[in-house]
Amino acid sequence: MTTWDKSVDFLVMGSGAAGMSAALRGHDLGLKVLMLEKTDLFGGNTAMSGGVVWVPNNPAMKKTSIPDSDEEALIYLKHITHGEIEEERLKNYVDESKRVLAYLQEHTHVRYTSLEKYTDYYPEAPGGKSGGRSMDPTPFDGAKLRESLMTIRPMHRQAKVIGKFGITAREAHAALGLGFGTMVFMAWQLLRYGLRFFKRKKWGRDTRLVGGNSLIGRLFLSLQERGIEAWRNTAVQSLVFEGERVVGAVVEKDGRPLRIQAKEGVLLAAGGFPRNAEMRQRYQRKPITTDWTAGGPGNTGDAIVMGLDAGAEVSLMEEAWWTPTSLVPKYDEAWVLVVEKSLPHGIFVNRSGARFTNEAAPYGDVVLGMYEDASKNAGASSRWFHVFDADYRRLSIAGPIAPSKMMPDNRIPRRFRDGGYIHRAATLDELAEKVGVPAPALKETVDRFNAYAVKGEDPDFNRGWSAQDRYYGHPSVKPNCSLGPVAKPPFYAIEIFPGDLGTKGGLVTDLHSRVLRAEGGAVIEGLYAAGNTAASVMGRTYPGAGGTIGPALTGGFLAAESAAATTESAAEAAQ
């Protein structure tokens, strides 16, 4: 007989979108739920993210001029996943993601609006769309959480404008450029931030939550109103089995072990392994390091390891939600270069001084281009740089460095200049010498790029051809907002790396988020996985903004429904 310190129906490991979605749905179906968070802050990777979800044919699209259908969405997903993901799984996501989102919007505080201008990442592919499938969390008043606001993991530092407040994905896109409209918008945001002074003072941080903080704040308030237990600083040590069924877990809380019974199962939703150096070296392509990731500090692969120990099958372990990043001095997380890569008057070059990819392509494809470049050159090109000119500096951000119209070179913080983050030179030859790139090769690359950029063309990599490339382009640059010559001195360079938002490989699950065995493919009874702990339904690709969080919300929700169905089946059998 097992002695338990606590008994619940459904135990949730992890407090990101997957974990909170599961906890809410489980409770609403009559399960007693306990959600565990290893760190001292709730929210996981989701809280640090933009919070966007990718849900095709969602009801909000009907308010736009963009038609969609389940059939088109399935065609699109089948095309971009290249047949590696079973059609049944793709169809399941198309069907269920809408239902999950509708339920959350009707029964919880979760609110989303459609981003009609945010294109799919492959909008010209069969079934692709020019916008609407990506959805933005509505801003949330964090004061509603009261003291619990300080238990929510803050957004990534780069998501804060001038280090003070966040803006939504819609607002960020509208603020591109430094025209009069942008200045008015920023002045209004600063005024609103100032008016929140007393709320900030009372609750310890800015109370206007956007992006992933909004989503997590809304989910967490919904948890609190239901009285769902959630423990911080509680690490799961191991799973407990009866025969081959998972019936609970051993956790460490406040320095002491506790045995927790989970009558209907355990959900592993504790993220991937971006912060686990050993796992990254074992499973992933080289070069790789934990330094280049923007993933949360708690994402060390614990849940995946537990699944492996239980005999689970894993898939896509070599993959991640790739994105080019830069390493900012004294910052814990890498800086994600989602916007910068698409802006005109800049290019990416390798150590040989050559371009190697379409810089404005979906960020996952850019990193794959970096790895392909390293492979072609037998590792000799394992350094890459973002090279740009004075026109870029005047108009655009460069990591944490604001445009020169707002932050002239002499106002760039010393730690960025002297710490080697940004390099500045009067000529391309001087810049090449500073970063260790052959000067003749860099000049040849820039000259060729410039000759076509003024025409709005890129015959080498087709940059700016896709509507996706132009989404973050600069609206004032013609004829192609993603292309502009790198011609006006001084010149700048920032080293970039093949980084990620988190890993996407993990435990293989069925359509109900039940974990499957490596031998025979049978279900491991009582064990579920969702979010980045599970192998992604999106395969090796990224359908559009929100391609991570949409499946996380859906996977956790379906896991709870499956666990509750087990209870119903047992009750029916007993009658």
The answer on 182 and 123 residing in a single domain is yes
Is residue 449 in a domain? Answer: yes
Number of domains in the chain: 3
Q: Is 36 contained in some domain?
A: no
Do the domain assignments include residue 208? Answer: yes
CATH number of the domain enclosing 87: 3.50.50.60
d(CA 441, CA 354): 7
Question: Is residue 312 within 8 Å of 507, Cβ to Cβ?
Answer: yes
Say yes or no: 367 and 474 in one domain: yes
> What is the predicted pLDDT for the residue at 518?
96
* 14 domain residue, yes or no: no
CATH number of the domain residue 342 falls in: 3.90.700.10
State whether 430 and 297 are in the same domain. no
Token couple for 512? 């109900």
Print the domain residue range for 82: 45-222
Q: What is the pTM of this model?
A: 0.95
Indicate the residue among 222, 255, 282 that finishes a domain.
222
Give a three-class secondary structure readout of 109-160.
Answer: CCCEEECCCCCCCCCCCCCCCCCCCEEEECCEEHHHHHHHHHHECCCCHHHE
Same domain for 506 and 492, yes or no, is no
381/483 same-domain check: yes
The answer to whether residues 477 and 378 belong to one domain is yes
Which pLDDT value is given to residue 162?
76
* Co-location of 468 and 560 in the same domain: no
Residues 334 and 473 in one domain: yes
Indicate whether 280 and 383 sit together in one domain: no
CB atoms within 10 A of CB 170: 16
| Together in a domain, 496 and 507 | no
Max Cα-Cα span within the chain: 83
Of 239, 219, 204, 30, residue with least CA distance to 111 = 219
457 shares its domain with 542: no
Which among 500, 517, 539 is the end of a domain? 500
In whole angstroms, give the CA distance from residue 175 to residue 188.
12
In sequence order, the 6+-apart residues with CB closer than 8 A to the CB of 171 are 185, 189
The Cα–Cα gap between 258 and 256 comes to 7
Structure-token pair, residue 357: 């990819």
Residue 175 located in a structural domain? yes
What's the token pair of residue 296? 């949360």
**Cis peptide leading into 123, omega within 30 of 0?**
no
Residues sharing a CB contact under 8 Å with residue 477, sequence separation 6 or more, in sequence order: 344, 345, 483, 484
Please tell me what DSSP assigns to residue 312: B
* E-assigned strand segments in 194-340: 208-209, 229-231, 234-242, 245-253, 256-268, 314-315, 320-326, 335-336
pLDDT at 171: 87
The phi, psi pair for 285, rounded to 5°, reads -70, 160
Paired tokens of 283 = 């499973």
Is 19 part of a structural domain of the chain?
A: no
Domain boundary (222, 254, 288) is at 222
Phi-psi region of 384 (alpha: psi -120 to 50; beta: other; left: phi over 0): beta
Q: In a structure prediction context, what are the per-residue pLDDT tens digits for the chain, which is 575 residues long? A: 579 999 999 999 999 999 999 999 999 999 999 999 999 999 999 999 999 999 999 989 988 889 999 999 999 999 999 999 999 999 999 999 999 999 999 999 999 999 999 999 999 999 999 999 999 999 999 999 999 999 999 998 888 887 788 888 888 887 777 677 778 888 888 899 899 999 999 999 999 999 999 999 999 999 999 999 999 999 999 999 999 999 999 999 988 999 999 999 999 999 999 999 999 999 999 999 999 999 999 999 999 999 999 999 999 999 999 999 999 998 888 999 999 999 999 999 999 999 999 999 999 999 999 999 999 877 555 899 999 999 999 989 999 999 998 899 999 999 998 889 999 999 999 999 999 999 999 999 999 999 999 999 999 999 999 999 999 999 889 999 999 999 999 999 999 999 999 999 999 999 999 999 999 999 999 999 999 999 999 999 999 999 999 999 999 999 999 999 976 655 554 44
